[in-house]
Amino acid sequence: MTATSNDELVKRIAKLAKQNQELEAKIKKLLSQKEKLAAEIEKLKASGQELLADKSRLEAEKKSLKFNLATVLFADIHGSAKFLEGLNTVSVMDELDEIVYEFGAIAEKYRIERIKTIGDTFMCAGGIPVKNITNPIDVVMAAIEMCSFLEKYQLFKRGNDQRIWEMKIGIHTGPVTASVSGKKKINYDIKGDTVHSASRIEAVSENGTILISVMTYELVKEFFDCEYYGKLPVKYKGDMQMYRVTGIKEEFSVDGNGVIPNSSFRIKFGLIQFTDIQEIILDKLERELPYFAFYHNVKHTVDVVTEVELIGWAEGCSDEEILLLKTAGLFHDTGIIESYDNHELLGAKLAKEMLPAYNYTREQIDRICAIIMATKLPPKPSGLLEKIICDSDLDYLGRSDFIPVSNTLFEELKAQNRMNDLNEWNKMQVKFISGHQYFTKTARSLREVNKQQQIERIQSLIN
């Protein structure tokens, strides 16, 4: 009995010892796996931190915008010490708030972005967030209006006896970087040498003076009277020339007062602003025209805009008429984005929607729409401008590239199942050209002879 018990005990101990060895081996294996998992976790954490850093960097870059042409205005508004003494502080601060509020409204009127500042400095920038080439003119116009408002405001408040508020303005044009913040209301914080230069120009300016850099001067000198003021040392760049703006040029201001722009100013400004409108419309055509627009494409629109200007000048059109012609040429085929049929009417509709934002008058817009509608086939123009756009729209009939251009029109119609037989198309072309006549003397002298040659060329292609 005792021997048997001992044998069983030994066997149990041996079994337990073996199980213990197996458990120790499993523990070692698990520990090894744990170490590997810990190393992988650390790698994943490091990768996660890198991803978060990349995400943060990308978000920062996304919110940081660069503008190659922006115009920054710095205005320092302060009270005159000799008049402030004895005045109620609360009423004085209320006046300052009223002035700054009105300056903000003027900036908004000229599509200039107000930038948050501290203290009595008012800062705004043209050309952000919507890029445009007119921002130097816009900002100088806003500065003139701000000075005019401050003068009238003080006269209304206290007459000629007390001029409490003094103001000096510095303006500079160049590239800026804008940081975007806010969700409900977007705010912009701009940085760069342009901002510093505008601030320094304001610092050396005098009370009641609008001081601009030579960069701004070169972009606005056609519109404003300016006097050379002096030089401002700029680190690493030498001296910057500065000019004092005295007002709008006499021929561009109402009654020659140098403050309120007249119709000549608006037309000249409109011809410059047209470049911004053209960029928007051509981009829209590039993105939204239907796939089959092989002829009525961006190139055709550019051709018409170029041709109306060429014929317009040759026919003795005024600056305003050239502006109306170019604008009509730009919009005349935009309706194809919506529908091929009656696209002239849809193009006129888009012009009516967009142009008021660019200060076109109701009368100008009505004339532009009439010019657009004149391009509807068969053309029946009633005035010179309508004749010019009709000749420009069919200018290709007398050009050396007539055959390849007309083939793109055939492909466009074929893609819509409007025309499928090339031979029939050529016959139709001969009939159309034979019955067509240019309306302006300029187009007849430039294209009529070639047009007769086109008929012969197409007839040779007909089977």
Distance CA 73, CA 187 (A): 17
Residue type, 337: I
56 three-state secondary structure: helix
Whole-model pTM: value is 0.80
Q: Tell me the average pLDDT of the chain.
A: 88
Cis before 129? omega within 30:
yes
Ordered domains of the chain (ranges, CATH): 63-261 (3.30.70.1230), 266-459 (1.10.3210.10)
The tens digit of pLDDT for each residue in 225-275 reads 999 999 998 877 788 999 999 999 999 999 888 899 999 999 999 999 999
The tens digit of pLDDT for each residue in 314-360 reads 999 999 999 999 999 999 999 999 999 999 999 999 999 999 999 99
Hey, which of 69-83, 206-220, 418-432 has the most confident mean pLDDT? 206-220
Distance CA 208, CA 154 (A): 13
Are the C-beta atoms of 439 and 395 separated by less than 8 Å? no
Distance CA 199, CA 125 (A): 12
Helix (H) or strand (E) holding 79: strand 64-79
